[in-house]
Structure 1
Amino acid sequence: MPRTLAVQAPAAGVRLITLQRPEALNALTTELLGELAAELALAEQDAETRAVVLTGSRKAFAAGADIKEMAERDLVGILEDPRVAHWQRIASFPKPLIAAVNGFCLGGGCELAMHADILVADEDACFGQPEINLGIMPGAGGTQRLLRAVGKSLAMQMVLTGQPIDARHAQRAGLVSEVTLPELTVERALEIARAIAGKAPLAVRLAKEALLKAQDTDLASGLRFERHAFTVLAGTADRAEGIRAFQEKRRPEFTGR
């Protein structure tokens, strides 16, 4: 059983992972990242899991890397940091990942939230990359994902000043999809996850991959992948079930085939 996470299955097809280091505002240790990577690997292998919600506490999603642990690592330790592999496994999770963000979402916590496909935040949440205040910079994708999410000017401001932005600013900039009351953040994220879990799993996975490729490839390459994925889905049993259910005016029963 993980020591720094709580894992639940609150609805069919949905897995809820909660970071549990409240004494340290869910600061990200090597142990926590390793347990999270392992749990996502289990979720990937589980055919019944179709969407995952990741959250923290009401006070903090995650307030960054664990500074005490960071201070204990020398240059060799940084170069051989096992957390690099954990981050890579988290980044490669192929199923929909929704982050429910309450409170502080800073440094590594903000980088972790940006690994999610959809971010829901409470109105008191704040997002930032304050690493510059420690004489360092984001090192888990913060400079790359933040710029793609909010644009060059705001990303430069956040990274170079270390100053955070609030949830409404994050929503206007495109980092967050919805802003909720604090007590409703996880509930709303689970609602979105349940909606996704009811869709055809193969279509969801390929649609996610196509959307991510739009960030990383040119338009022509993205369109080629989209067309190929569309053609692949045309031969699936779920497509036939979706069309049949529409014609029969009933809810489709997708099987992932």
Structure 2
Amino acid sequence: MAIQAGCRVLSQAFRPLVSSLDGACRLQGKARCLHNVLQTNELQCVRPGAYGASRHYSSDAKSGDDLCVRYLDGDDSGIVVLGINRPKAKNAISKNLVKMMSEAVDSVKANNKVRTVIICSLVPGIFCAGADLKERAKMQQSEVGPFVAKARALITELGSLPMPTIAAIDGAALGGGLEMALACDIRVAATTAKMGLVETRLAIIPGAGGTQRLSRAIGVSLAKELIFAARVVDGAEARTVGLVSHAVDQNKNGDAAYLRALNLAREFLPQGPIAIRMAKLAINQGIEVDLATGLAIEEACYAQVIPTKDRIEGLTAFKEKRPPRYKGE
């Protein structure tokens, strides 16, 4: 029963990642299911970053975009950086930003050349201030629900990306900005950064997953306290309560969290990309079910790496005492 339940969970997990699955997912005896969803898309390179000497980009594009998508090159090839760039609005989430981020997420979602996605800000001192309240005030009441639904769908899709995602929080991440970060696998913050789900100040609640993801990140009781009080914590306290994995002292360029996130992404690059994706899927799906079903999910995910060329390459490289050259195959 656990194996069958595990297969059902995995089949559901793949629906947001691909439009369809080739064939049904079945487990007979030992778990063996899941289809390889690591499809290849052409890389799209959009404008370079605004600051940070260690940032290497593959091409230039027009400036003024609310979101800057960068495919890093050279030794950092495989890392994609999504840089929010709305300085006049403190990176607030607008209709256009939701549209641009949705397109960016779609473009990397099934691309097996992408190893890690970093979300950061190109505006010093701010990550994302949440919803664009000035734009929201101009909306008709009938427009608010559909817009929130689109923002919620975006953050859900971000959380469903098959490759690791890292939020680099170098400044304030409030409301929807923190919800965006919570959807990432790993969060890195400057100690001076400010974070909080502050929606109750406006007589609303977090509407893009905050009530669910914050509870899972730091525990139900503390999540309730922070949400009920609309409390804002700094990076150091966020690290203490487990809201972020790393808290680093800010530097003069204002990109200390980004640099730490980049170093983390570089640690992921040498590892087997299919293995990392399967590990992420096993963790994400397994944490939501009982242990027996979770173990079945792990077994099913493990089965997917056995026939890969990368697994053979790893064994060969170990035997030959050389670094492996993984291709995601």
CA–CA distance in 2 between the matches of 1:79 and 1:127?
25
Alpha-carbon distance in 1 for matches of 2:156, 2:246? 27
Report the alpha carbon displacement of residue 68 of structure 1 after superposing the two structures with TM.
1.1
Given the alignment of the two structures, is residue 41 of structure 1 paired with residue 101 of structure 2, yes or no? no
| Aligned equivalent of 2:115 | 50
- C-alpha separation in 1, matches of 2:183 and 2:313: 32
Secondary structure, aligned partner of 1:80: helix
Q: Secondary structure at the match of 1:182?
A: coil
Give 1:3 deviation, angstroms.
2.1
The answer for the alignment partner of 1:124 in structure 2 is 192
Report the AA paired with residue 271 of structure 2.
K
| Larger deviation, residues 85-94 vs 22-31 | 85-94
8 Å contact 2:286–2:298 — kept in the other structure? no
TM-score for the superposition, normalised by structure 1: 0.94
Q: 1:216-247 CA deviation, whole Å, 9 max, x = no partner?
A: 22221111000111122122111111122122
Maintained 8 Å contact 2:155/2:183: no
Alignment-derived partner of residue 320 in structure 2: 248
How many Å apart are 1:20 and its aligned residue? 0.1
CA distance in 2, matches of 1:53, 1:234: 29
Residue 60 (1) aligns with residue 132 (2): no
Q: Distance in 2 between matches of 1:72 and 1:254?
A: 51
CA pair 72-104 structure 1, distance change in 2 beyond 3 A: same
- Alpha carbons 1:129, 1:159 under 8 Å: kept: yes
Which of residues 176, 187, 192 in structure 1 aligns to 2:259? 187
* Cα deviation, residue 127, structure 1: 1.1
> 1:93: which partner in 2?
161
Quote the Cα distance in structure 1 between the aligned partners of 2:258 and 2:146: 35
Cα drift, residue 44 of structure 1: 2.3
Supply the RMSD in Å over aligned alpha carbons. 1.6
Check conservation: 1:33, 1:87, Cα contact below 8 A.
no
Using a 3 Å threshold, how does the CA distance of structure 1 residues 231 and 46 change in structure 2: closer, same or farther?
closer
Shift of 1:61: 0.6
| 8 Å CA contact 1:127, 1:166 repeated in 2 | yes
Q: Is the 8 A contact 1:4 1:32 kept in 2?
A: yes
Give ranges in structure 2 of 5+ residues lacking alignment.
Answer: 1-45, 47-63
Please state if 1:153 is matched with 2:213. Answer: no
Deviates more, 1:116-125 or 1:233-242: 233-242
- Give the whole-Å Cα distance in 1 for the aligned partners of 2:187 and 2:225: 21
CA apart distance, 1:46: 3.2
Q: C-alpha deviations, 1:40-93, integer Å up to 9, x for none?
A: 211224332211111013311101111112222333212322434433332322
Partner residue of 1:110 out of 178, 181, 200? 178
Question: Which consecutive unaligned segments of at least 5 residues does structure 1 have?
Answer: none
Task: State whether structure 2 residue 238 is matched by structure 1 residue 170.
Answer: yes
Residue 13 of structure 1 aligns to which amino acid in structure 2?
G
Query: Equivalent pairs: percent with the same residue?
Result: 36
Counterpart position of 2:69? 7
CA apart distance, 1:124: 0.4
| Contact 2:116–2:163 under 8 Å retained in 1 | yes
8 Å Cα contact 1:148/1:215 also seen in 2: no
1:218 to 276, 287, 290: 290
Provide the rounded CA distance (Å) in 2 between the counterparts of 1:252 and 1:146: 37
